[in-house]
Structure 1
Amino acid sequence: MTDSSTTALPPVVPAGAAEVESALATAAAAEHADGHPPFSDQTRALLRRGGHELLLLARADDARSDEAAGAAVVVREGGDLLVELVVHPQHRRRGVGRALAEAAAGHLRAQHPDAVDQGGVVAWAHGTLPGSDRLARAHGLSPVRELRRMRLDAGQAPSSASEPPEGVRLRGFRPGQDDAAWLALNAVAFAEHPEQGSLTQQDLEDRMGEDWFEADGLLLAEREEDGALLGFHWTKHPAAAADEPAAARGPEGEVYAVGVSPQAQGTGLGRALTLAGVHRMLERGARRVLLYVDADNTAAVHLYERLGFVLDAADTQHRLARAD
């Protein structure tokens, strides 16, 4: 969420499927300016397949035809209603953020009064930009969760990878063959995680359809004796600009997700998987690697710090207070 304020609020209108790309173009402009995607991957996937509940657009006379001055999205996330909001960098501090927030709040009060009363509404402030906290608190939301973005520069990476435990081998994902086993592993590895642990076959297919997806970039750890999956490291290393050679990769990779089965925790597999994916991205041209981790997951934070990752930014989740 980003904030802007002025006395005359711009008009906000519900948008249909034809205007999804306009919202995504605005999000891309904000990401380029801020260094943080304002919508999560799951929200973007839901938008593209029409799985969102509401899309609101704010228009301005000087906005480009393929961009909106701002956009707000309402989607379901587990048992909650999630709001994500973005204001185009060229239209900030004009009341766009406030207008979008008020329109989204009005929709939730009208359509989901029970969720509003019971505190079932959350909002993410990606990058925790100035004004996000103020806008959230103005609508009765308080910070409840911090998602840290950590960064590892190529020169700070460990010089060598770590071998997996004895009897475990690493290999690439096989679309269509490993789907069910990977989804089951992901569910148990992230049983306490509200977003990652609830991924479905459709969610997996959405991500496999992204231009950054590579099957070999989803590293699987399997037990040699029976092929059972014990862990994975999903790397995200997008291609470079469209005019670059097809094999070129961008300067920034991401530890998209690292999951380890409960039966393999404490064996060093998480470290081995993390380093294997990091070195794969660095060898393919990444100059830095990012990852996201919950601040209260102290074991993971300490592991990443030992590997050389440092705090780069943070996202904050806000939750609507329950009605008294």
Structure 2
Amino acid sequence: MAENPVPATPTDPAAPRVSEPRPDEVDAVLALADRAQAADGHPPLSDQTRVVLARGRQRWWGVVREADGSVSGAAVLAPEGGEDSGSVLELVVDPEARRAGRGAALADAAAVRERGLESTTSVWAHGMLPGSDALARRHGLEPVRELRRMRLPHEALADLPQPQLADGVALRGFVPGRDEQAWLDANAAAFADHPEQGGLTRADLEDRMAEDWFEAEGLLLAVREEDDALLGFHWTKVEPQAGPGPRVGEVYAVGVTPAAQGLGLGRALTLAGLHRMAGQGVDVVDLYVDADNAAAVRLYESLGFGLFAADAQHRRP
């Protein structure tokens, strides 16, 4: 964050004040994030940050409270990967309480907390909402990564080709109690250069398996028929329907191990998961992909995905 951060407690008595949250305010912060997502169409907190917060493993967090005690803003500083990794900061402000200095106050408070770790801290601007880039630059941060949100419309979802698997490869669902370590090993190998996904731990996996959207059969595994060795996977995500609007499925993660590269598994696994979600009645399917992953972007575009939104990660130059 900022090299010369301003105090966490503003000198202007009318300015928003950042307070240390109580443990029982986790639910309030998560509910705030849900309200912001409903209003903006973009989640302000990543799944990993939500898990870290629910487990009390955040490195720092702060909230802005209103006169009635309700939480109108929150900031969470979480490990970017493992415990020895850098930190990632995410902010959320209630849609009804924006443009009144709450976001700036939260960013300033986080800057004070992280004054010794500026070079390892990044900030995500989910949806690249107005003001987020200016706030990041105020603290000397510049965009270094673009994460695209791509969407497959309903008409394309209804007209997908069937997946074609290489000889000797089969698809099956994840089996809880048996496949955890094999999946963790495959995930770490497939995403060795991806700090968020590649750094998932057994506890992270179990936390996701406890979510109401998790279905073991929705975590598709590509295995070698002769020995059941895990070659790749497509983790699909379909949230329970909540309120009006289209039902959205998500290509949560597609990974292929280095040993299985060249078998066409990326396309086959993606198609298999899309067909599964179509059978569950989703209207559209979203996915997230790094803008500089040209091969993946081309694959998804060839299947009918188009750019829907984007997130930006900021760091100190």
TM-score with structure 1 setting the length: 0.90
The count of corresponding residues between Structure 1 and Structure 2 is 301
Residue matched to 1:253:
249
Residue matched to 2:150:
150
Q: Distance in 1 between matches of 2:302 and 2:315?
A: 32
Q: Provide runs of 4+ in structure 1 moved above 3 Å.
A: none
**SS of alignment partner, residue 50 of structure 1:** coil
Partner amino acid for 2:107?
Answer: A
1:220-252 Cα distance to aligned partner (Å, 9 max, x none): 00000110000000000012239x9xxxxx710
Residue matched to 1:27:
33
**8 Å contact from structure 2 (residues 144, 315) kept in 1:** yes
Residue matched to 2:57:
51
Match of 1:68 among 64, 68, 71: 71
Aligned: 1:203 with 2:209: no
**8 Å contact from structure 1 (residues 9, 98) kept in 2:** no
**SS of alignment partner, residue 52 of structure 1:** coil
**8 Å contact from structure 1 (residues 16, 55) kept in 2:** no
Matches within 5 A, 1:130-279: 130-157=130-157, 158-241=159-242, 251-279=247-275
1:185-244 Cα distance to aligned partner (Å, 9 max, x none): 0000001111100110000001001110000000000000110000000000012239x9
Q: Distance in 2 between matches of 1:15 and 1:183?
A: 33
**SS of alignment partner, residue 52 of structure 2:** helix
Q: Distance in 2 between matches of 1:212 and 1:201?
A: 18
Q: Distance in 2 between matches of 1:268 and 1:134?
A: 42
Task: Identify unmatched segments of 5+ residues in structure 2.
Answer: 1-11
Of stretches 168-177 and 150-159 in structure 1, the one that deviates more from structure 2 is 150-159
Partner amino acid for 2:277?
Answer: M
Aligned: 1:16 with 2:17: no
Q: Distance in 2 between matches of 1:22 and 1:283?
A: 34
Of stretches 38-47 and 155-164 in structure 1, the one that deviates more from structure 2 is 155-164
Per-residue deviation, 1:12: 0.9
Residue matched to 2:315:
319
**8 Å contact from structure 1 (residues 147, 314) kept in 2:** yes
Residue matched to 1:102:
108
Partner amino acid for 2:223?
Answer: E
Per-residue deviation, 1:81: 1.3
Superposition RMSD in Å: 1.6
Q: Distance in 2 between matches of 1:315 and 1:159?
A: 27
Per-residue deviation, 1:159: 3.0
Residue matched to 2:5:
none
**SS of alignment partner, residue 136 of structure 2:** helix
**SS of alignment partner, residue 195 of structure 2:** coil
**SS of alignment partner, residue 296 of structure 1:** coil
Residue matched to 1:4:
none
Identity %: 59
Partner amino acid for 1:15?
Answer: P
Q: Distance in 1 between matches of 2:61 and 2:123?
A: 14
**SS of alignment partner, residue 171 of structure 2:** strand
TM-score with structure 2 setting the length: 0.92
Per-residue deviation, 1:160: 2.7
